[in-house]
Amino acid sequence: MNTLISVIDIKNDFPILTREVHPGKSLIYLDSAATSQKPVNVIEAMNDFYRHSYANIHRGIHTLAEEATQMYEMSRLRIANFIGARSAREIVFTRNTTEAINLVAHAWARKILNSGDLVLLTEMEHHSNIVPWQMLSEERGIKIEFVPVLEDGLLDLSQYENLLKKNPKLVAFTHMSNVLGTINPVKPMTEMAHQVGAVVLVDGAQAAPHFPVNVSYLEVDFYAFSAHKMCGPTGVGVLFGGESLLESMSPFLGGGDMIRRVTLEGFQSNEVPHKFEAGTPPIAEVIGFGAAVDYLNKVGLQTISDHEHDLTHYALDCLSQIKWLHVLGPGHEYKGGVVSFTTDIAHPHDVAQVLDAEGVAVRAGHHCAMPLHQRFGVPSSTRASFYLYNTRKDIDQLIIALQRVKEIFG
């Protein structure tokens, strides 16, 4: 059975995939949910920038400063188009998804929410979409409730409806679970939240890299994601915010570039999105991010999504043959390319160790989702995750490596 992309060509774009991690064992990289590998064009875009056009942005008049500023703002525009924002003014560069969510917590929630106000989360959230709200709860007395996750790994949408009757001010949830792979119905959930007057923040860290996302269509108020999970460099992420919402917010960090004017008496904020980007940003990383978006657009997000869906379906079929292995979460109809599992015979650490010896890179632990693991009654799990550069052969290697686990621990 052919995979949907010419994966040989894709693999050639990622130099690290030719690596041998142990003698005779080529790297089979199944940890893209943690971070993605980088194509050559992204690596070269950043190097070229440092070699030819690097300068500080926004304030210079000299040639390099102009070039750098143009390239930086062009990246912003490409990212805005990538997620269907109405304008580049709705794209704030942050360090990563975690910082983007914290920005909403500090610059919006901290000013708007009062003691007793309700924030609605879900049991499947990553810690980055739980802890900032818990911190705010300690500081401000906001209340937090969690939409339960059903046994099959889907959100309990009837409970979601009930919880909305408590009139939360903010509803924050993940587009796709980094453990279960569950893809949540963002558009209907957002509509329901808006009907009770809530603002909606969606964690898109696992979604934006893997399938087409259009924030204007979804009508979310805030959307957060990271470059490093979508073929871009570390050190840069995005908070998308509706323009009028961003305009109504106070700044996040204070300093240079986020101001229009400073005197000894006080300051005036700059316009959005610069209001939220204090200090010198990760300039080369933003340019690398733009190159990553170009690369993904060239392959096509729908193509990537279809390819991953095929891999996930294949993986689940293969894994279902292994009687001592249990996959968490839904079947392939609701699942993105993230497959977490436990086994009857070995602890996730030991599974990951054996798999590594076979060249297969997976992740073991709680994946920054301890409440979710508690809900399923397991302390930790092993997670394999796929991206455009994976193939059915990679999954075959995973299965072979799992047989080694049985040989050693069975």
Partner 1 sequence: MDDFYREIILDHYKNPVHRGQLENSDFSFEDENPLCGDFIHIDLSMDDDGRVKDAVFHGHGCAISMASADLLLENIRGKSLEEVKNLSKQDILDWLGIELSPVRLKCALLPLKVVKAAVYQLNETNDKLVE
**Which residues carry out catalysis?**
368
Cis peptide bond upstream of 273, omega within 30: yes
List of residues contacting partner 1 (CB under 8 A): 346-350, 353-354, 357-358, 364-366, 370, 378-380, 404, 408-409
Interatomic CA distance for residues 188 and 184, integer angstroms: 10
Instruction: Quote the strand ranges of 205-354, DSSP E.
Output: 222-226, 237-241, 259-262, 267-269, 325-327, 338-343
Please name the residues in contact with 311: beta carbons below 8 A apart, sequence gap of 6 or more: 3, 337, 386, 390, 391, 392, 395
Closer of 140 and 404 to partner 1 (Cβ): 404
Closer of 64 and 370 to partner 1 (Cβ): 370
Interatomic CA distance for residues 310 and 332, integer angstroms: 9
DSSP 343: E
Give the residue from 238, 191, 200 showing the smallest Cα distance to 96: 238
Closer of 95 and 383 to partner 1 (Cβ): 383
CB of 387 to partner 1, least distance (A): 23
Closer of 295 and 341 to partner 1 (Cβ): 341
Structure tokens at 399: 């299965």
Closer of 267 and 409 to partner 1 (Cβ): 409
* DSSP run (H or E) holding 39: none
Decide if 208 contacts 187 (C-beta within 8 A): no
